[in-house]
Chain A
């Protein structure tokens, strides 16, 4: 099957330096282990990384202090439909053993891991859900 899948490396942004550990990672929630596993399998169905098996989920990193790639810019833009968001730092995910690949358009990243057995640890590393006060709906109102 791997010959049918796309190579994710072709979509890695190579021109930008890795984000500092203090930068905030944002992901709209809510997730469960089962949902993260489903999302990770979808990526695995679609992509390989350097020809190898790959699991991963999508996040955004607040790379800038202002503008669409800032924390506020993401909460009021790409994450406007998410009343709840996870906001770990890059350092917290890296310390938990996960790599962040800058994929597709800035500031999208893929948190990559080798096995679905890593999903419980990933969910723990995402930390608590926090309200997105800019979202269209309050947490109990959506969609």
Chain B
């Protein structure tokens, strides 16, 4: 099963033009910090994303995500190729 750092609908944009979801939908909320690279989406549709910001709202903390190019498999290949 695909590891998802934070559940999100990758189609869902708000006035920022970015994907948004709630921090309390994260597997490990501590990981969700600005400029972190995470996997967001659902178990059926996910993408590598950059955490842009966290915005406090009365309904919870909104996380804005920027969907990054490429797939997790491509990122894995890159890391394997360039070493650690």
Chain A residues with CB under 8 Å of chain B are 1, 4-6, 11, 27-32, 35, 38-39, 42-43, 45-46, 57-60, 80-82, 84, 104-105, 108, 136-137, 141-143
| Residues of chain B at the chain A interface (Cβ within 8 Å) | 2, 7, 9-15, 17, 21-22, 25, 39, 41-42, 44-48, 57-60, 62, 67, 69-74
Contact B73 A28 (CB under 8 A): no
Residue in contact with A143 in the complex, picked from B9, B48, B58, CB distance below 8 Å: B48
Please pick, from B11, B13, B17, B57, the residue contacting A6 in the complex, using a CB distance under 8 A.
Answer: B57
Residues A104 and B15 in contact, CB atoms below 8 Å apart: yes
Which residue of B13, B25, B44, B62 contacts A35 across the interface (Cβ within 8 Å)? B44
A38 touches B7 (CB 8 A): yes
In the assembly, what is the distance between CA of A2 and CA of B46, in Å?
31
Q: Which residues of B contact A4 (CB under 8 A)?
A: 58-59
Q: List, sorted by A's number, 9 A–B pairs whose CB atoms are closer than 8 Å.
A: A42-B12, A42-B21, A42-B25, A58-B12, A84-B45, A141-B73, A143-B47, A143-B72, A143-B73
Given A81-B47, A141-B71, A57 and B58 contact (CB-CB distance below 8 Å): no
Q: Check if A104 sits within 8 Å of B11, measured CB to CB.
A: no
Contact check, B7 vs A82: say whether CB atoms are below 8 A apart: no
- Interface residues of A, dominant DSSP: mixed
Contacts of B67 in A (CB 8 A): 80-81
Q: A58 near B46 (CB under 8 angstroms)?
A: no
Q: Are the C-beta atoms of A136 and B44 separated by less than 8 Å?
A: no
Asked if A58 meets B48 with Cβ closer than 8 Å, knowing A45-B59, A105-B17, A136-B74, the reply is no
Compute how far the CA of A6 lies from the CA of B45 in the bound complex, rounded to whole angstroms. Answer: 27
When distances are taken between beta carbons in the complex, the residues of chain B under 8 Å from A137 are 71, 73
CB distance from A86 to the nearest CB of B (A): 10
Distance of A11 Cα from B62 Cα, bound (Å): 17
| A46 closest partner in B (C-beta) | B59
Interchain CB contact under 8 A, B69 and A45 = no
| Given A80-B69, A143-B72: A11 touches B15 (CB 8 Å cut-off) | yes
A45 near B60 with CB under 8 A, answer yes
A107–B58 alpha-carbon span in the complex (Å): 28
